[in-house]
């Protein structure tokens, strides 16, 4: 991860791929136009592809990457999707239904039998691992095997797990999706998405889809994302350690009614967590005794930022129930999601404890 995506080692050459700022290239080379990507983007794709074990294609955003899959389905296709997952992703699927282009089959993807039963006649199985914001873990190997037997393509959004938590391609997935905006870039300063596949034909189809839609990332964003990727291991180690400690302390707090964190022994999918995830991550969610307390906490914190998104070096917190789409998917109104950063653990706990008072 630290060495991947570097230019050739030549005496006097830079160790980092330069930011290539050009839209047009001289004819006869490997690229003609920046819609096909730049050297900056190619370096980032090479690094993340090596980490995931496939060919990576970077997009201008995570939603652009999602759209490349969803809108690439034939009209009338059926997609099996989680009952609860990333709010805007569900909105995209719902919009395809509204336009008469797609059938969706929402299912509790942690219920393996129910998910497999929904696969017959489908074209796509969409999984999120862990799920956002409840952090549930599906039986990935069993589901990808069943999907493969039925010629159903499996796409796994493993943004929350990161490539250091799980490599879905090694568990039978066809395509892995990341919002590189989050843990991979890690500094809250860019928007980018990724699709990775080990199938050469799918890789060509994904790259063609990006070219046709023009959803290309910028060279500056690619440079920053690659720089962020190189520190992912050390950032994630600190974020995960902080999150584990906060999850335990929150569980012991009288104002907290439940805590969702993959590293907790009482996690409902603890066996799957143990067998599938190499890292428990830096995201947790919890419910307070009232919506009012949840809102007051988010307003009261000072070190932690009251903001959306996740995966940065700074801690963020928000009540997810403030979004109608989250409520429609079944998230409790008082559910709070916290992306834990690399701040000192006692400073974070002091901020949370004061906010809960």
Residue 171 belongs to domain with CATH number: 3.40.640.10
86 in catalytic set = yes
CA proximity to 249, closest of 238, 239, 263, 259: 259
Q: Which residue has the tokens 């290539």?
A: 20
Q: Which residues pair with 77 in a beta bridge?
A: 102
In this prediction, residues 323-327 reach a mean pLDDT of: 82
Residue 25 within a domain: no
Residue 184 within a domain: yes
The verdict on 217 and 290 lying in the same domain is: no
Q: Which of residues 173, 204, 229 is at a domain's end? A: 229
* Residue with more model confidence, 9 or 125: 125
Specify the number of domains making up the chain. Answer: 2
The verdict on 223 and 245 lying in the same domain is: no
Reported as a pLDDT band with limits 50, 70 and 90, residue 92 is very high
Residue 176: CB atoms within 10 A of its CB come to: 28
- Structure tokens that stand for 152 in this block: 């159903």
Residue 209 pLDDT more than 80? yes
CA distance 52 to 11: 30
The verdict on 225 and 238 lying in the same domain is: no
> What's the pLDDT score for residue 206?
97
In this prediction, residues 125-134 reach a mean pLDDT of: 96
Residue 10 within a domain: no
The verdict on 78 and 211 lying in the same domain is: yes
9 in catalytic set = no
Instruction: State the Cα torsion 260-263-266-271 to the nearest 10°.
Output: 120
> What's the pLDDT score for residue 327?
82
Residue 184 pLDDT more than 80? yes
Residue 190 within a domain: yes
pLDDT in tens, 104-120: 999 999 999 999 999 99
The verdict on 206 and 68 lying in the same domain is: yes
Handedness of CA 310, 316, 317, 323 (dihedral sign): negative
The verdict on 88 and 212 lying in the same domain is: yes
CA distance 185 to 182: 6
> What's the pLDDT score for residue 315?
98
What is the domain-level CATH number for residue 304?
A: 3.90.1150.10
Residue 316: half-sphere exposure toward Cβ, Cα within 13 Å = 17
CA proximity to 336, closest of 298, 305, 309: 298
> What's the pLDDT score for residue 1?
62
> What's the pLDDT score for residue 10?
80
DSSP for 265-305, please give it: TT-TTHHHHHHH-S---SEEEEEES-HHHHHHHHHH-SSSE
Q: Which of residues 229, 259, 282 is at a domain's end? A: 229
The verdict on 196 and 87 lying in the same domain is: yes
Catalytic annotation, pick one of 39, 90, 153, 157:
157
DSSP strand pairing (335-339 vs 256-260): unpaired
The verdict on 153 and 295 lying in the same domain is: no
Range of the domain at 148: 34-229
The verdict on 178 and 64 lying in the same domain is: yes
Residue 59: CB atoms within 10 A of its CB come to: 28
Residue 11 within a domain: no
Catalytic annotation, pick one of 90, 136, 182, 210:
182
Catalytic annotation, pick one of 86, 235, 261, 320:
86
- Structure tokens that stand for 95 in this block: 């919009």
The verdict on 225 and 246 lying in the same domain is: no
pLDDT in tens, 48-87: 999 999 999 999 999 999 999 999 999 999 999 999 999 9
357 in catalytic set = no
Q: Which residues pair with 263 in a beta bridge?
A: none
Cis peptide before 311 (omega within 30 of 0): no
CA distance 42 to 38: 6
DSSP for 315-336, please give it: -EEEEGGGSHHHHHTT--TTEE
CA distance 117 to 135: 23
Residue 329 pLDDT more than 90? no
pLDDT in tens, 281-319: 999 999 999 999 999 999 999 999 999 999 999 999 999
Q: Which residues pair with 284 in a beta bridge?
A: 338
What are the backbone dihedrals phi and psi of residue 20, each rounded to the nearest 5 degrees, phi first? -95, 110
322 in catalytic set = no
Q: Which residues contact 113 (CB under 8 A, 6 or more apart)?
A: none
Indicate the DSSP class of residue 209.
H
Catalytic annotation, pick one of 35, 101, 227, 238:
35
Residue 128 within a domain: yes
The verdict on 335 and 242 lying in the same domain is: yes
Residue 147 within a domain: yes
Asked whether the beta carbons of 92 and 69 are under 8 A apart, the reply is no
Sheet of 193-197: strand order equals: 55-59, 193-197, 175-179, 153-157, 124-128, 77-82, 102-107
Q: Which of residues 201, 229, 257 is at a domain's end? A: 229
Q: What angle do CA 132, 103, 154 make, to 5 degrees?
A: 55
Q: Which residues contact 57 (CB under 8 A, 6 or more apart)?
A: 45, 194, 195, 196, 203, 206, 207, 210
Residue 340 within a domain: yes
The verdict on 73 and 179 lying in the same domain is: yes
Q: Which residues contact 168 (CB under 8 A, 6 or more apart)?
A: 129, 140, 144, 156, 158, 176
């Amino acid at each position: 991860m630290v060495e991947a995506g570097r230019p050739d080692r030549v005496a006097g050459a830079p160790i980092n791929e330069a930011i290539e700022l050009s839209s047009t290239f001289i004819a006869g080379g490997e690229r003609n136009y920046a819609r096909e990507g730049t050297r900056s983007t190619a370096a980032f794709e090479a690094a993340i592809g090596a980490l995931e074990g496939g060919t990576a294609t970077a997009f201008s955003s995570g939603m652009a990457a999602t759209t490349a899959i969803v809108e690439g389905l034939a009209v009338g296709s059926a997609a099996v999707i989680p009952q609860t997952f990333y709010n805007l992703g569900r909105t995209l699927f719902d919009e395809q239904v509204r336009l008469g282009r797609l059938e969706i089959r929402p299912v509790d993807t942690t219920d393996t039998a129910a998910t497999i039963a929904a696969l017959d006649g489908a074209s796509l199985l969409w999984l999120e691992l862990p799920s956002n914001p409840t952090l549930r873990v599906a039986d990935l190997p069993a589901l990808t095997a069943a999907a493969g037997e039925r010629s159903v393509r499996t796409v796994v959004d493993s943004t929350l797990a990161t490539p250091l938590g799980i490599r879905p391609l090694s568990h039978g997935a066809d395509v892995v999706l990341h919002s590189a905006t989050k843990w991979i870039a890690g500094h809250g300063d860019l928007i980018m998405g990724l699709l990775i596949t080990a199938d050469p034909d799918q890789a060509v189809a994904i790259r063609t889809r990006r070219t046709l839609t023009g959803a290309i990332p910028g060279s500056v964003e690619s440079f920053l994302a690659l720089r962020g990727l190189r520190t992912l291991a050390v950032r994630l180690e600190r974020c995960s350690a902080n999150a584990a400690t906060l999850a335990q302390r929150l569980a012991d707090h009288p104002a907290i009614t439940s805590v969702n964190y993959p590293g907790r022994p009482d996690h409902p999918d603890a066996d799957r967590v143990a067998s599938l995830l190499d890292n428990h991550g830096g995201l947790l969610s919890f419910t307070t005794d009232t919506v009012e307390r949840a809102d007051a906490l988010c307003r009261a914190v000072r070190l932690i930022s009251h903001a959306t998104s996740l995966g940065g070096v700074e801690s963020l917190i928000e009540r997810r129930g403030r979004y109608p789409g989250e409520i429609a998917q079944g998230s409790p109104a008082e559910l709070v999601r916290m992306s834990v950063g690399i701040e000192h653990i006692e400073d974070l706990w002091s901020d949370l404890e004061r906010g809960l008072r």
